[in-house]
Amino acid sequence: MEIQPSFKIEIKYMKKIAVIGAGIVGVCISHFLQKNNNQVYLYDQHEPGTQTSYGNAGIFANHDCVFANSPNIWRDLPSLLIKKDGYVSLDWMYIIKNFPWMLKFLKNCSYSNVDYIAKSLSNFSYHAESAYNEIFSDINVDEIVVRKDSLYLYETINDYKNGQYMNGLRKKNNIPFSYINKKEIKKLEPSIAPVYYNGVLFKEESFTKSSLKITQKIFENFINNGGNFSKLKIKSIYKKNGKLFLYYDNNELNFDKIIVACGVWSNDLAKTIKDSFPLDTERGYHILFEGRKDLISRPVGWAKLGFYITPMDDGIRAAGTVEIAGLKKPINKKRLELLEKSARNILPQLGKVKSHWMGFRPTLPDSLPVIGESKMCNNVYYAFGHQHLGLSLGAITGKVIQSLVENKRSNINIDPFNPYRF
């Protein structure tokens, strides 16, 4: 399927650029490249926004740094090994098969490395909101974006104490949040059962009532302004006589620049130009519940299992948790049962389960994305690996890619995201 603009626009194009991957990251990149008068061709084998970007918790964590590496891993390891009902679930056969990735992940769990990850992510997410504001000044998202601080709850004093290390990092990196007691939580969100000890309010955040519509609206605006979309799978990238090509279905197409924004699948294309990255996945789940959406007014998180319940336009969505089990294993029903049980524990009025979903967060062993130009094939750029923060960081990634492609200096430090840091 090809979608072409319905009218001709007289613009002098600067460069012919292919963006591969129409998740939130790829459509934001396409938006900024097009805004700067490039001729942009977007490719995806699926409809835009229907893969990992479809099912997230919908939070624009404008100033946060969320990631799995932690020096507490050594303290938590024994329970991770046995417990199946925690925030993280591990498939041991998968871990053994992918031990080199796990070793790299563990190396990034030292105090100094975790400090560096928190600083790098929060410096980047500091620009997230203003980048989205640029996109949203062209697109009306009034009905699907709500400005509201999100709430994160600790069930017990122990959970609260365990969260202090991460909150300390937030404080150190000027991430705006405040502690909130039981009485205040009750006042803010009266429908939440009083099963918590206390919580945290993350300030200056917003959320979307439809993760899919966010991607779709940015995509539609791109098409209406002359962008091109083809629904097909790109097989490889290569150079011939100094020219850059994409290959698909026995066809080749020449471009000035190519951007790989294929989320967790990005390595497949990187390998065709002899790059390779330690990219893996943190699988996450969501359940959509029927019934009143107005039971809560904001995303409410539950530290113990690492998920949020968010009021979406089609019901209340409980989304999150982490499972390390790769791309091939089927949905783990036990994770879904646990998610449902925990969501009903905090919001007993939840209705019937409408649907469930599993998605693949693209994650590198240091939880930082890969953003930069290929050394193996110049004019190819990478933008993937946004793990828990891909919705939040989509727009700022788009802006950064635009300045890289145009060789412009940017005041945003992307050294930590260097593709060749491993």
Ligand X SMILES: Cc1cc2nc3c(=O)[nH]c(=O)nc-3n(C[C@H](O)[C@H](O)[C@H](O)COP(=O)(O)OP(=O)(O)OC[C@H]3O[C@@H](n4cnc5c(N)ncnc54)[C@H](O)[C@@H]3O)c2cc1C
Residue in this structure with the two tokens 């993350």, named with its chain if needed: 202
User: Please, what is the minimum distance in Å from the beta carbon of residue 131 to ligand X?
Assistant: 13
209 binds ligand X (CB under 6 A): no
Among 52, 89, 228, 332, binds ligand X (CB under 6 A): 52
> Which 306-335 residues touch ligand X, going by CB under 6 A?
319-320
Residues 337-376: x where in contact with ligand X by CB under 6 A, - otherwise, as a string:
----------------------x-xx--------------
Q: Which residue, 21 or 372, is less far from ligand X as judged by CB? A: 21
What element of type H or E holds 159? Answer: helix 157-162
Q: Which residues contact 390 (CB under 8 A, 6 or more apart)?
A: 23, 24, 25, 52, 53, 56, 263, 361, 362
170 binds ligand X (CB under 6 A): no
> Measured at the alpha carbon of residue 228, what is the angle toward residues 223 and 230, in degrees to the nearest 5?
120
Beta strands 59-60 and 206-208, pairing class: antiparallel
Residues 373-412: x where in contact with ligand X by CB under 6 A, - otherwise, as a string:
-----------x-xxxxxxx--------------------
User: Please, what is the minimum distance in Å from the beta carbon of residue 400 to ligand X?
Assistant: 14
In b/e form, how buried is each residue of 148-168, taking b as 16+ CB within 10 angstroms?
Answer: bbbbbbbbeeebbebbeebee
For residue 419, give the amino acid letter.
P
* DSSP letters spanning 322-360: EEE-TTTSPP-HHHHHHHHHHHHHH-TT---EEEEEEEE
Among 25, 270, 324, 336, binds ligand X (CB under 6 A): 25
> Which 107-136 residues touch ligand X, going by CB under 6 A?
none
User: Please, what is the minimum distance in Å from the beta carbon of residue 223 to ligand X?
Assistant: 16
Among 104, 148, 233, 292, binds ligand X (CB under 6 A): 233
User: Please, what is the minimum distance in Å from the beta carbon of residue 111 to ligand X?
Assistant: 25
Number of residues that bind ligand X (CB under 6 A): 44
Q: Is 270 exposed, middle or buried (0-12, 13-18, 19+ CB in 10 A)?
A: buried
Contact in structure between 124 and 412 (CB atoms under 8 Å): yes
How far apart CA 113 and CA 117 sit, in angstroms, is 6
Q: Which residue, 183 or 341, is less far from ligand X as judged by CB? A: 341
Q: Which residues bind ligand X (CB under 6 A)?
A: 20-26, 43-46, 51-53, 55-59, 61, 233-234, 261-263, 265, 268-269, 284-286, 319-320, 359, 361-362, 384, 386-392
